Amino acid sequence: MPSLTLLRHAKSSWDDTVTRDFDRPLNTRGRRAAVVVGTWMKREGLAFDHIVASPAVRVIETLEGVIEGYGQPIAPDWDKRIYLASSATLLDLVREFPVDCEHALMVGHNPGLEDLVLGLVAETGGSPLRGEVEAKYPTAAVAVLRWDGGWADAREGGATLDRFVRPRDLAEGLGPDD
């Protein structure tokens, strides 16, 4: 049974004067959230044998913070197809994961990640956490999904949502009103 961990990039800075959206960096809260999430991932025993990530600056910086909190290197395959991808494109990527991979991490953007979770997890019976994802999949949030079969068997409504954690669940000062 594969497990797919989906991490949305941490909070980026809209104040930065970069020309392209692709180049937007994290803000201070985002950098802190990335470290906190990495610490949580380590504490929860999450480990990955396949990692794919958008090469956008805010994703790169998110992973730098996650690595700091996780305490071990995380070496992703950078894939431009993840940048602002639809859930259909993300699902195609998941179905391409190596057959021998059991635990994958995908780091990217919304609305694709949120839509992927909502598509893979059934509205009833998939997890009581699904409603939290539906309400909002904020920056630096982590969702962990599982389903029977392999990566090619990922299908609509076929997954369970084991975990959904937001930075505000892990540390004060990382919520939307903080």
- 58 is annotated as contributing to ligand binding: yes
Instruction: Quote the DSSP letter at residue 25.
Output: P
Q: How many residues does the chain have?
A: 178
Count Cα neighbours of 19 within 13 Å in the Cβ-side half-sphere. Answer: 0
User: Any residues with CB less than 8 A from the CB of 43 and at least 6 apart, and which?
Assistant: none
Residue 5: strand pairing partners? 105, 144
Question: CA 126 to CA 157: how far, in whole Å?
Answer: 7
Binding site residue list for substrate: 58
Binding site residue list: 58
